[in-house]
Structure 1
Amino acid sequence: MKKKYTLSAALLLGLFLLGSCAKNDEVDPSITNIAVTNPDFQTLEDAAVRGDVAVLLGNRNANDPQGNFTVFAPTNDAFARLGLRTPQDLTVLQQPFLRNTLFYHVFSGTLAGSALTPGSTSASALGPRRRIIQRADGSTYVNGSKILATDVRAANGLIHPIDKVLLATNADVLNSALALQRGDVFVKPELTFLVEAVVYCNLTAALAGTATSAKLTVFAPTDQAFKDLGVILGVPLNQPSDIRKLPVTTVTAVLLNHVVGGTQGGKFTPELPMNTSIASAGGAPVVLGAFNNGVLTVKGSGNGANVANMVIPDVQCLNGVVHVIDRVILP
């Protein structure tokens, strides 16, 4: 707890000093200049350069009368949660996806901290709206990302630092998984076993939908998670097509254990009920662990003491939220 406080205090002090210098010079730095000047936003600066938005956020917003943008700005630690620490690390992401991800952090105009009220939503430059969530302890989140500070003034708008990168696909759960399978997100394809399993079990329609569809919370196992399952089952799962070695009824039951609808559908991590069980689409319980550092563990009845960790939480899709996990949940 002490470490988190120290990091937050250092971040706020750095932002305060930036603001003080700007006032002394009677000129506020632009959003891009703040990212360049403050070491806590080094990875954001690198991402903005590779994503080709640095120049945009260094100038006035032509689409706003006041010329302002508002940016939810991930810190270096936020990017590090995804394994992104250096400019070279950012090359694992396709450039168009990185650019879209950065646009998802941007609001066209002024969105003051006082407007970030629980249950409110805000438009993004990408399109999908973000939701403000408040936990019982009073902490405030935008989707699954904790808001560390608000209203850091720049010459062309405001910055709200956050502790996780905001992720959105502007597609439904099915097509979001297909985008990962094709390598449209990471340069190396991912979720290829999951997509193969969904097709094998004829569940594609269940994961498709629009912004007005019933919302889903989906726990999506990585390719490595399926390979590890093969070791447990004694059935080598070395490539996606190996999924078809397993009975379709068995695979279907397992997949449905990863989907949650109803009142727990479409939930970001701060909204999921910790330390309890929720019903999956297959009827078997999904056990959620404690809310810790913005994520929860997940497991099924068949996992025993082995839990799945969220490696990429809170991916907003048109018809729900996807949490990528490192273990297959067994009913």
Structure 2
Amino acid sequence: MKKLFNLLLLGTFVLFAVSCQEDEPAPQPAPDLVQAANAAGLTTLLAAVDAVPSLGSTLLGAPAITVFAPTNQAFTNALTAFEATDLNDLVSKLGGVQNLEIVLGFHVVPAVAFAADLNATNSFTTVSGQTLTVSRTGGSVTITDATGGTANVVTADVEIANGVVHVIDRVLLPEIELPTEPAPNLVDAATSAGLTTLLAAVGAVDGLGGTLLGLDAITVFAPSNEAFAAALTAFGAADLGQLVTKIGGVGNLETVLGFHVVPAVAFSTDLAATNTFTTVSGQEITVNVSGSNVTVTDAAGNTANVVTPNVAIENGVVHVIDRVLLPELELPNVVEAATAAGLTVLLDAVTAANLGGALLEAEAITVFAPRNEAFVALLEELDVEGLAGLIELLGAEAVTKVLQFHVVPAVAFSFDLDEGTQTVPTLAGENLTVTRTGSNVTVTDAAGAVYNVVIADVAIENGVVHVIDGVLLPTLE
């Protein structure tokens, strides 16, 4: 009986033990890396891992890993730092999927290291083959990457099936060769710098932009908009078009612009204390360096300061300057201009009156130059044969006065004239009436005859010539 009782007691104990074991939950296996990242909301990290073929399976299959896992905000900050719009753009700016794999591998150590396992300073070789430094101070853990950037562990010791995850607040950067942005061309650089007047000037010279873009090597001393504005003021021009007219036309504009371009690459660090460069225009400029200051001296001895140096472009460098550089410009004298315009009768008359020297030597003149047809009409009106007949009829002194009546001892381009009527003195000692109506200019002589300017604003070395369709007559005794 006692033996039976003992057996029953033993059976009851066994049943009780089995019952207790059935009530206790079985221990749950640790999540794998993907499950842990999903649980932590690390969606950007997961997307990045998926972008590298087979990386996810490699990490899941590794025997032992410690993962420093950046938060979504850490990736957002990385997008901002790399000026990327999204993860795909970030991958492109890192240099492609191969470099992304290096970056992600730099966050994984092929060993298990819980926070409690760490020394004060630890050096780990990562899956990427590069080393990162992990530091522990009390309960705080930080990681330093190859750039010296520091990430903080914000959630430590998330156990996974094959190791541990520490969530961090920064994307760690290894040593990688980042793709270099291609340097802009000259036009793009000038556009970015807001050099709109320079661009307009280059655009005014047919083919110049293409020529500069096609040169193998250039250094451009590029005047700012303010520099061009100062040049407009100095030349009394209201806009770029008037400035081009006053310097003698598009041909001289090309010379001016070429004077700002050296056919070689010279960053400020390449310069000696004093440098002489032959420009694209064939004329020389002098560039001086004093400390961090760089100046450029033009043909007239004027000095410009480099205000923004070393803007790299695809075929050289741009230095922004605060003054328009002026080369020696070729302008015709009054005789050359009249010859080019075919004003043969006027030239014969000037020669006969011995006025050529006076006009060439005058400091500043505006010449209203009658075309040949105007002299022919005057001769017909006076019923005389040729210039000799005119001199015989009026006398040499009177013919000289007629010619002087066409010359104003000051420079007046058409756009310099006031709107409406004005009187201007002439070399004849008698005033001439000039009227501007918009872009049209007329001149009125002493007898009230009105003639039109048919070709305006021919710049000469000491002034300007306007071709007119009549011969102006002063008061003749």
TM-score (norm 2): 0.35
Higher RCO structure, 1 or 2 (CA under 8 Å, sep 6+): 1
Structure number with bigger Rg: 2
**Higher percent of residues as strand:** 2
User: Under a length normalisation based on structure 1, what TM-score does the superposition of the two structures give?
Assistant: 0.49
